[in-house]
Structure 1
Amino acid sequence: MTTATGPDLRERAETVLATLAGPGARLREDQWVAVQALVEGRRRALVVQRTGWGKSAVYFVATALLREAGAGPTVIVSPLLALMRNQIDAAERAGIRAATVNSANTGDWERTYTAVDAGEVDVLLVSPERLNNPDFRDRVLPRLTASAGMLVVDEAHCVSDWGHDFRPDYRRLRQLIAELPAGIPVLATTATANDRVVVDVTEQLGLGRHDSGDTLVLRGSLDRESLRLSAVRLATPAQRLGWLAEHLDALPGAGIVYTLTIAAAEEVAEFLRERGHPVASYTGKTDPAERLAAEGDLLANRVKALVATSALGMGFDKPDLGFVVHLGAPASPVAYYQQIGRAGRAVERAEVVLLPGREDRDIWAYFASLAFPPEPLVRQTLAVLGDEPLSTAAIETRVDLSRTRLEMLLKVLDSDGAARRVKGGWVTTGQEWVYDRERHQRIAEAREVEQQAMLDYIGTTECRMQFLRRQLDDPAPERCGRCDTCTTPAWSTDVDAGTAAAAQERITRPGIEVAPRKQWPSGMAELGVPVSGRIPAAELAAPGRVIGRLSDIGWGTRLRELVDGTDPDDAPVPKDVLDACVRVLAGWGWEERPVGVVGVGSRTRPHQLDHLARRIADIGRLPLLGTLAPTGPRPEEHANSAQRLAAVWSAFEPPAFGMPAGPVLLVDDVVDTGWTATVAARLLRHAGATAVLPFALAQKG
């Protein structure tokens, strides 16, 4: 195939860009350098540029030029459906025919593959999860590898477990790149990567040493002159929520309010709506159709803000986004900059406000606990794999890892060649695998350094933009002159007493419904538990209630103090918590009033739980029927459903007390996976209770 070169190539590239970005658009110098390297040099390149710089223009322009020269389609590995939608829209504007293969369009896959084979697709967008699908990997990927004209890895920091959004599916890309025919250009792009992540990305993707000349690394300034950075430190969650409610209208345009947890996002959105603000919540648990509708509402400025977790990040493209507020600090400056970089791309001024909380560090610690498993659990996982496929659910009965961590581990083992995903589950390859203990220790230590850097950012008196750019190895020679340390602070810390009181009432409003378990985990027979399938209706627990979640911005801290096991006195439940219990029970609205109260016996806080059950019985004028007595030592804590159910299956004696016909209230301290309540309800239903209503102080998560 032949390709224009030099001035002719640049002129053609500018013409393609004009169809993409409008008449008069011109390539930035680094954009041209990247396009030239990919099209003329067939090189491998890593582009680290801020959001809105035009990374997609590089690969779409390069695609058009390569296709004109007879190259095959460009394959873009893209991590989010929202990002894919934006990329397809952009491609179509440039006259580039784009298609996608992801979990949301399975019915279109065969038609898409046929179109690719027929040369009717210029760009194929693939979700990284497809790379680990056995059918796609074995049937489709070899064809794409053989015919691709270019490979693009979007949001390439996801390949690095040094980065802020590690995704093990990206690990498969190293093998894909290694199998590409000679002369196929590869482009990796990201908006946020410090030096450590740049090195790791080039090594993980097999692009060659980043400092050897094998890979072209283009890094630009991460400064965005529109951003006004501020940190507003307030003492309590109610003050922070009240501040947000009072100042939301003063923030320019429409924007994003980030929270650290799903529970907080939903709670904050509900309060803001109660105060008259048009907002919507957006989390990983939001229905896909609702997420798409929420994105559209923000893009069209029909809402003032989306209250979101990090699920709204990569791929959301709103050039006129006017503000980003964080209610709670992310765990690293790199993650923080990735999120605030969504704002201010096409406006002169965008406000970026951080409202940190004392509880942030507890949340960081929780997410850190989900890191790569220790070596014994990895070895145990490898040991249970054989030549016959085992499903993930079956592996759970033999390895005590949560489903999320187990799936992550299996994907890493797959990409490292020690395991393989096949139809029906996972098998071993028999290849030796080395646990890189030193690397994981360095990552853990780096996480601690990043967390301290985030705390330092909150309290810094130096220029905030300088601080963040230094954390991303993008040193700034001068102060920005815009942030709250360079100028007079833009935001007061005053909060109206009435607004703060309303926020306090909202976040301390007790009562959350807890859905019952309805299905037994798979493979329980292997653990000596004779159940399977759906839980029979005659054994089911009813929907339960708790005061709040341990992650709530209101009740979370108070409940953690009470149930985390650190109270050596096993003291009675305090009055404020007991009052909250009464409010929850009074507002329950059950179809039939309970006929009695049953306590769940505790090995760690027996007096506290006994006091709670007695007080609830006294206040409700109900008989205290008895306590489910624990048997043997306290069951070990386990990470997944199968192991946890096995641990509590025989943890209680059948009730030795009489059970009147009717519903009973089952009182416990903490709901975690729900299996304790499920097993207890089964015992009580067998003993004659017509319904079991689980009630606890708190729910984990």
Structure 2
Amino acid sequence: MEHTSNADLRAAADAVLARLVGDTSGEARLREDQWRAIEALVADRRRALVVQRTGWGKSAVYFVATSLLRAQGSGPTVIVSPLLALMRNQVEAAARAGIHARTINSSNIEEWDAVKSEIAAGHVDVLLVSPERLNNPEFRDEVLPELAATTGLLVVDEAHCISDWGHDFRPDYRRLRTVLGDLPPGVPVLATTATANARVTADVAEQLGTGGSPDALVLRGPLDRESLSLSVLRLPDAAHRMAWLADHLDELPGSGIIYTLTVAAAEEVTAFLRQRGHTVASYTGKTENADRQQAEEDLLANKVKALVATSALGMGFDKPDLGFVVHLGSPSSPIAYYQQVGRAGRGVRHAEVLLLPGKEDEAIWEYFASLAFPSEELVRRTLDILASSDRPLSLPALEPLVELRRSRLETMLKVLDVDGAVRRVKGGWIATGQPWTYDAERYAWVARQREAEQQAMREYAETTGCRMEFLQRQLDDETARPCGRCDNCAGPRHTAETSAGALAAARDDLGRAGVEVEPRRMWPTGLPAIGMDLKGRIPAAEQAAQGRALGRLSDIGWGNRLRPMLAAQAPDGPVPDDVARAVVGVLADWAKGPGGWACGEPDAPPRPVGVVTVASHTRPQLIQSLGARIAEVGRLPLLGTVEYTHDARPHQASRSNSAQRLKALDGALTVPPALAATLADAPGPVLLVDDYTETGWTLAVAARLLRRAGAAGVLPLVLAVQG
């Protein structure tokens, strides 16, 4: 029997739930496991870790707990949440229950002062903050201490992000350990996630202090999703997969999400499906915030059949009647896959989940794996640079001094901040002088974990056993049993058939060649700090013009053809005939298109007068033969090559930042005298031919040298662009 007080509390909790879900019948009731969590937080003021499947009702737990705690006079609830989509959903949900929720995140900077005033006045019941805010100097030093002192409940949503064993590690989440240490005694803490295996659960519990205390509650439920029917359909190539989608998308129930592995693929698929008459929208990390919000609203209102999305649309997006999730390409982790498919079937009896794996998947996995934690040498160099500076260094100031791109540099600094080796202050980053150890064993273990997860996804696609059971076992769910619903349990529900028309259209679409290559127009900041006297705008007379590439390495059309050819271990050799013909086609379209030299416009630029190649340490045959083929077909002279200087070494900073790339190129390229003499007499621009471009700086430096040697203009032409 419950005590009377707890019985009253349970009745009050059910009443809040009814308001939250819009139930006017009085029949809404919390499930026993939800009530256990709420009781622990409100009645016992304990810490709890809840690992429950998507759709279990984790948000109901913290909103009901908030309402009850506020009624008892507690301070506001602080929810740390990783995604803006989740925040928008939850502010609306809270309002239904009479809970006033506000957010502080990167998309509402103009509202921050008003939100702070409302908090100070006691008008805010729930404050949702992004993890990045926790290490913003102003928020950390001015807002967070006061907030920690008055918080009535701390909620860590998507808590697997704390663990670098998890699939979506975010170093900003580690700052929560500091927040927890500043909480007054007796303040309850709730951590929630749907995607954590036993190792991640233990790590999160330890970091949040929910594992070491005998008073903590750990609720781990079964992860089977009874509404989901899982299938895998293997198709011959990207064209067949796109054609299948075009033919069968309308057969899938309701509206849903089509996940792709890259931004380029999402944009390609969106454009193709629209051409085939489907109402779809793209949703990626490059989508403007206003467009993202509109896309979410259109999906929620069933105004689109699907969002074609990258993992940018993931945790927290809540559409109970989402009818399907299709993956065009396999994620690298079964945990990430489970999290994404969990978007579907929350409020419907049946939802379709379909994986369409592709040959390019593993190359994309390999690329993202290469962005792991930097080497100890790079970390030590960064710490030394910060230690020797007499002022804080911002990311733009630090970037030229370290061979890391800004996003990786920032992530590394956040990890070092959590470890106590650096600190973010107003104006940038400083070294603390605290001793720091490079945990090579842990980083190597994480890398091996990633490899094991990739192997698990290969096995998931190939298994003849139950697919839901397979995923549950990957998440260490001891209740895993055959589901009776997946294609292996109940038989295939999807045919591999595609119509001739859709397949022809897909092949035509994927075979369409040509990507614009934007020239570099500004030098990166901080070059004087590394001994290069360059800054500001690159003079117009030294710039390249807009160029062209055959395709992107990340797309599912020409990218699939170019990736193996341009891989680091690929042998050098003459350009293949099909690739050469496609490049000539790109050149022809470029000439006849808007602004091209053969477009017929009055102010059209002059026709190229010759071809110049860029020397290569790794693919000299490929580039020289490509240049020769272009010259032959275009009836242009092959003027020569921008060479490497004798003392230049092949630079290996393939993913370093712009400043370091330029430093590696400084003095490394030269225009031979014979080529310079030819350029001085040339009456028009030249085509500059290279294998591929990642940052654009090799093309920019070569173009600058050619322009200074007398070239009237430089038109870059490459096989591929990275990205």
State if a TM-score over 0.5 links the two structures. yes
Map 1:189-588; keep pairs closer than 5 Å. 189-209=192-212, 213-386=214-387, 388-476=391-479, 478-568=481-571, 570-588=572-590
Q: Does 1:614 align with 2:628?
A: yes
Measure, in 2, the Cα distance between the counterparts of 1:607 and 1:192.
49
Change (3 A) 1:145 1:450: same
Report the 3-state secondary structure (helix = DSSP H, G, I; strand = E; otherwise coil) of the residue aligned with 2:714.
Answer: strand
Q: Which residue of 1 aligns with 2:608?
A: 594
Measure, in 2, the Cα distance between the counterparts of 1:84 and 1:653.
54
Q: Which residue of 1 aligns with 2:637?
A: 623
Q: Which residue of 2 aligns with 1:153?
A: 156
Q: Which residue of 2 aligns with 1:640?
A: 657
Change (3 A) 1:404 1:4: farther
Measure, in 2, the Cα distance between the counterparts of 1:310 and 1:505.
27
Measure, in 1, the Cα distance between the counterparts of 2:659 and 2:222.
50
Q: Work out whether residues 389 and 425 of structure 1, in 8 Å CA contact, stay in contact via their aligned partners in 2.
A: yes
Measure, in 1, the Cα distance between the counterparts of 2:107 and 2:61.
27
Q: Work out whether residues 520 and 533 of structure 1, in 8 Å CA contact, stay in contact via their aligned partners in 2.
A: yes
Deviation at 1:4, TM superposition (A): 9.0
Report the 3-state secondary structure (helix = DSSP H, G, I; strand = E; otherwise coil) of the residue aligned with 2:203.
Answer: helix
Q: Work out whether residues 52 and 221 of structure 2, in 8 Å CA contact, stay in contact via their aligned partners in 1.
A: yes
Q: Work out whether residues 330 and 356 of structure 2, in 8 Å CA contact, stay in contact via their aligned partners in 1.
A: yes
Deviation at 1:215, TM superposition (A): 2.4
Measure, in 1, the Cα distance between the counterparts of 2:313 and 2:547.
31
Measure, in 1, the Cα distance between the counterparts of 2:86 and 2:440.
35
Q: Does 1:663 align with 2:680?
A: no
Q: Residue deviations 1:567-623, cap 9 Å, x none? A: 44x321111000110111111122422222221112222232112112112211223
Deviation at 1:374, TM superposition (A): 2.3
Measure, in 2, the Cα distance between the counterparts of 1:131 and 1:4.
40
The count of aligned residue pairs is 696
Q: Point out where structure 1 has 5 or more consecutive residues left out of the alignment.
A: none
Deviation at 1:14, TM superposition (A): 1.0
Report the 3-state secondary structure (helix = DSSP H, G, I; strand = E; otherwise coil) of the residue aligned with 1:378.
Answer: helix
Deviation at 1:477, TM superposition (A): 5.1
In structure 1, what residue type is equivalent to 2:32?
A: E
Q: Residue deviations 1:504-560, cap 9 Å, x none? A: 221121111122222211111122221112222222222221111112212223212
Bigger shift: 517-526 or 68-77? 517-526
RMSD of aligned C-alpha atoms? 1.6
Q: Work out whether residues 473 and 480 of structure 2, in 8 Å CA contact, stay in contact via their aligned partners in 1.
A: no
In structure 2, what residue type is equivalent to 1:11?
A: A
Measure, in 2, the Cα distance between the counterparts of 1:383 and 1:604.
34
Q: Does 1:18 align with 2:18?
A: yes
Q: Point out where structure 2 has 5 or more consecutive residues left out of the alignment.
A: 597-603
Q: Work out whether residues 465 and 483 of structure 1, in 8 Å CA contact, stay in contact via their aligned partners in 2.
A: yes
Q: Residue deviations 1:120-157, cap 9 Å, x none? A: 11111111111111111111111101111111111111
Measure, in 2, the Cα distance between the counterparts of 1:612 and 1:596.
13
Q: Work out whether residues 210 and 217 of structure 2, in 8 Å CA contact, stay in contact via their aligned partners in 1.
A: no
Q: Which residue of 2 aligns with 1:8?
A: 8
Q: Work out whether residues 595 and 663 of structure 1, in 8 Å CA contact, stay in contact via their aligned partners in 2.
A: yes
Q: Work out whether residues 595 and 622 of structure 1, in 8 Å CA contact, stay in contact via their aligned partners in 2.
A: yes
Deviation at 1:406, TM superposition (A): 0.9
In structure 2, what residue type is equivalent to 1:448?
A: E
Measure, in 2, the Cα distance between the counterparts of 1:58 and 1:478.
28
Measure, in 1, the Cα distance between the counterparts of 2:81 and 2:491.
41
Q: Which residue of 2 aligns with 1:118?
A: 121
Measure, in 1, the Cα distance between the counterparts of 2:246 and 2:519.
34
Measure, in 2, the Cα distance between the counterparts of 1:207 and 1:179.
16
Report the TM-score when normalising by structure 2.
0.94
Report the 3-state secondary structure (helix = DSSP H, G, I; strand = E; otherwise coil) of the residue aligned with 2:489.
Answer: coil
Report the 3-state secondary structure (helix = DSSP H, G, I; strand = E; otherwise coil) of the residue aligned with 2:286.
Answer: coil
Q: Work out whether residues 131 and 169 of structure 1, in 8 Å CA contact, stay in contact via their aligned partners in 2.
A: yes
In structure 2, what residue type is equivalent to 1:316?
A: F
Q: Which residue of 1 aligns with 2:600?
A: none
Measure, in 1, the Cα distance between the counterparts of 2:481 and 2:163.
31
Deviation at 1:655, TM superposition (A): 5.1
Q: Residue deviations 1:258-295, cap 9 Å, x none? A: 11111111111111111111111111011111111111
Report the 3-state secondary structure (helix = DSSP H, G, I; strand = E; otherwise coil) of the residue aligned with 2:392.
Answer: coil
Change (3 A) 1:4 1:309: farther
Report the 3-state secondary structure (helix = DSSP H, G, I; strand = E; otherwise coil) of the residue aligned with 1:439.
Answer: helix
Measure, in 2, the Cα distance between the counterparts of 1:416 and 1:368.
23
Measure, in 2, the Cα distance between the counterparts of 1:120 and 1:619.
73
Q: Which residue of 2 aligns with 1:654?
A: 671
Q: Which residue of 1 aligns with 2:40?
A: 37
Deviation at 1:207, TM superposition (A): 3.2
Bigger shift: 228-237 or 390-399? 390-399
Deviation at 1:476, TM superposition (A): 3.7
Q: Work out whether residues 513 and 544 of structure 1, in 8 Å CA contact, stay in contact via their aligned partners in 2.
A: yes
Give aligned-pair identity as a percent. Answer: 65
Change (3 A) 1:349 1:572: same
Report the 3-state secondary structure (helix = DSSP H, G, I; strand = E; otherwise coil) of the residue aligned with 2:317.
Answer: coil
Q: Does 1:686 align with 2:708?
A: yes
Measure, in 2, the Cα distance between the counterparts of 1:156 and 1:548.
39
Change (3 A) 1:661 1:528: farther
Report the 3-state secondary structure (helix = DSSP H, G, I; strand = E; otherwise coil) of the residue aligned with 1:696.
Answer: strand
Q: Work out whether residues 107 and 289 of structure 2, in 8 Å CA contact, stay in contact via their aligned partners in 1.
A: no
